[in-house]
Chain A
Amino acid sequence: MKDTIVQGLQQAYLNLFHMIAEFLPRLVVMLVIILSGLLVAYALKYMVRAVLRLTKLDRLSEEAGASRVLRMAALPSMTEVLSRSVFWITLLGFILIGISILNIAGLQEQISRLLRLLPEIVVAMLILFLGLVIANFLSRAALLAAVNAGYASPKMLSWSIRFGILILAIAMALDELGVARQTVIAAFSIVFGAFMLGLAIAFGLGGQGLARSFLERSLGEKKEDKADELQPL
């Protein structure tokens, strides 16, 4: 009995030792790969940045109007966006290769699934990017219009527009990825509906005076407001 227990423990110890002996070199290899990946990614980032600066891509992007779009989304210059993208894509590739070295059952499958999802991920990222651009542009336009018209709480209006568009973009991106599709749609409907209802209640009940002045200004008093201003030309 005692011998059996000792033998079992010895076997377990040996198995653990074998596992660690097998896993450790793989872990070291993975770490080496990731570390090399980090170095390669950094090197590529600086190389790409230097080449793009030499080719004056930013000027071309400015002329093509792409820089304007990036600025609207509060993103850095085209050179910076591309060099950073190269860095992250390279690093991600090395991380995935490193993880696959570990040979963990199930993880391999997840990685392959992730690679298969890559086109959807790109589309989802594009949707998010466009959502960000549109949200920034429209929220800024609303802020300017509200400030110039003298409306109360212009930032709240601007923020509401940004929030609404971003929620829509995130929901669309998740839908594209197929992540809990039903849940996302239901969650979006609830959040968006609640948001609009909240605005309606806040504006209708909480801000009766504001609503009244808004409507009066929009429908009746606009001409008087204009007449108050001195003729500019």
Chain B
Amino acid sequence: MAEDILLGDDFLRQLMSVGEVDLLVAIPTYNNAGTVAQTIQAIENSYQQNFVRDRVVILNVDGGSTDHTTDTILSMNGKKSAAHRGITSLRTVHRVTTQYGRSPSQGMALRTILAAADLLRARSCAIVSPATTNLDPSWIANLLRPAYRQDFAFVAPLYSRTKFQGLLARNLLYPMSRAVFGLRIREMYSDEWGFSGRLATQCLNQNLWGEEAVRNRPEAWMAVTAICSGMKCCQSFLGPKAPPPPGSGPDIVETIRQTVGNLFWCFETFQEHWMDRTGTEAVPTFGSDHELLPEDAPASQEKSFELFRTGVKELDTILSSILRPDTLAQIRSIAGAEAGKFRFEPELWVRMMYEFAASYHRSVIARDHILQALVPLYRGHLYSFLLEHRGSSVEEMEADSEALCVEFERQKPYLIERWKAKS
């Protein structure tokens, strides 16, 4: 399959000169000249410290940077870090760079990485983001080891996070994917993850690369592929997740389109695998479990509540084609509440999310419109969450998150019922 992908002559020449490898760490870049050097350094340090005898390669796939990202990587060749302290790899740390396109695409980047991993017969691979400013050499080792030494196919990262960080993941993506697919993988949507060469080849051979969901969030698709193929999955603790610079990255609308769209698409694509599955299983975790760190409550999110109210009022026609009448009536009712007394009950949130997933499945309207219609409702739930947990302790928040996961599991039969319903 790797041969079917249009890999440039120069890229193929570089791969051939590397030969076979044990480990591959890939960095998808797009205008990351400012941070890519420290990422490369962290990977090299990790190789030097943890995989002295192994055949390794660093692969950079670039989406058409205009800030000389690739030049920065190439100009680093041969420079040794002071952190080596006399430990030198017995093998050459190869660096391969290629440009997969003129505009960035996570799906194309991953496809190129998988093709390279397949050609190099890499046993274990990891992907790291150059935007992660606190990347530590131990992170790389933690992502590579489970697939290299213990036959795990997919290695999800675990981070320590502050209380109000990653709320979409905590309130929607994790509990919903856990309830549906039955595995407790916390960070399915992340910038760093690891996988085995076997999973790389299997994903590469799938004819799904044209799907928007795969192009946008290929990491979650890889995870679900591993789960549904019966491959072993695990989690590996990395460290604190550094928040990205304010205003960078996609906004909430785009994030929901990409992540929730991907999740709903995975529900549909892998429906035979989860329909009859009941209960959830914990996955092996390396290192400490995820940590929640205390944090001051964020500034008032009154605007989120206003956007929720406006959304419920203005999108009534659209919501009535997505939600059941009684669910919509309840949402209309809470939208009329005072801002200070507003509460989005978990039972309603879960039922609403399952109705959204079923409507996406039946394409009651354009799918992208269904996802966009979710945004104001998510904002309402976010506001309710922040209002409720403004003064909550870490333990209280953890207990609440777990209760939400259990509610998603309890209502899974409702998802199946709505999924199979004709209207």
Q: Is B1 an interface residue (CB 8 A)?
A: no
CB < 8 Å neighbour of A223 from B247, B259, B298, B382: B247
Extra contacts, 12 of them, besides A137-B366, A140-B369, A233-B169 (Cβ < 8 A), are: A140-B365, A143-B314, A143-B315, A148-B311, A150-B303, A154-B310, A223-B247, A226-B251, A228-B303, A229-B252, A230-B382, A231-B165
Number of interface residues of A (CB under 8 A): 27
Q: What residues of A have a CB within 8 angstroms of the CB of B382 in the complex?
A: 230
Q: What residues of A have a CB within 8 angstroms of the CB of B253 in the complex?
A: 148
Q: Which residue of B lies closest to A59 (CB)?
A: B422
Q: Which residue of A lies closest to B259 (CB)?
A: A233
CB < 8 Å neighbour of A230 from B189, B249, B298, B363: B298
Quote the shortest CB–CB distance from B335 to chain A (angstroms): 13
**Residues 31 to 89 of chain A near chain B (Cβ within 8 Å):** 62, 67-68, 71-72
Whether B310 pairs with A232 at a CB distance below 8 angstroms is no
Whether A143 pairs with B318 at a CB distance below 8 angstroms is yes
**Residues 160 to 181 of chain A near chain B (Cβ within 8 Å):** none
Quote the shortest CB–CB distance from A62 to chain B (angstroms): 8
Whether A233 pairs with B168 at a CB distance below 8 angstroms is yes
Q: Is B233 an interface residue (CB 8 A)?
A: no
- Provide the bound-state CA to CA distance between A150 and B314, in Å: 11
Q: Is A3 an interface residue (CB 8 A)?
A: no
CB < 8 Å neighbour of A148 from B164, B167, B363, B372: B372
Quote the shortest CB–CB distance from A83 to chain B (angstroms): 18
Quote the shortest CB–CB distance from A8 to chain B (angstroms): 68
- Provide the bound-state CA to CA distance between A145 and B254, in Å: 11
The interface bits of chain B over 65-109 (1 if a CB of A lies within 8 angstroms of the residue's CB, else 0) are: 000000000000000000000000000000000000000000000
- Provide the bound-state CA to CA distance between A1 and B408, in Å: 103
Q: What residues of B have a CB within 8 angstroms of the CB of A72 in the complex?
A: 365-366
Whether A232 pairs with B365 at a CB distance below 8 angstroms is no
Whether B252 pairs with A232 at a CB distance below 8 angstroms is yes
**Residues 180 to 200 of chain B near chain A (Cβ within 8 Å):** 189-190
- Provide the bound-state CA to CA distance between A137 and B310, in Å: 21
Q: Is A141 an interface residue (CB 8 A)?
A: yes
- Provide the bound-state CA to CA distance between A67 and B365, in Å: 10
CB < 8 Å neighbour of A147 from B165, B166, B190, B311: B311
Contact of A148 with B369 at beta-carbon distance under 8 Å, contacts A229-B251, A231-B244 already known? no
Q: Is A144 an interface residue (CB 8 A)?
A: yes
- Provide the bound-state CA to CA distance between A223 and B247, in Å: 5
Contact of A231 with B318 at beta-carbon distance under 8 Å, contacts A147-B310, A148-B253 already known? no
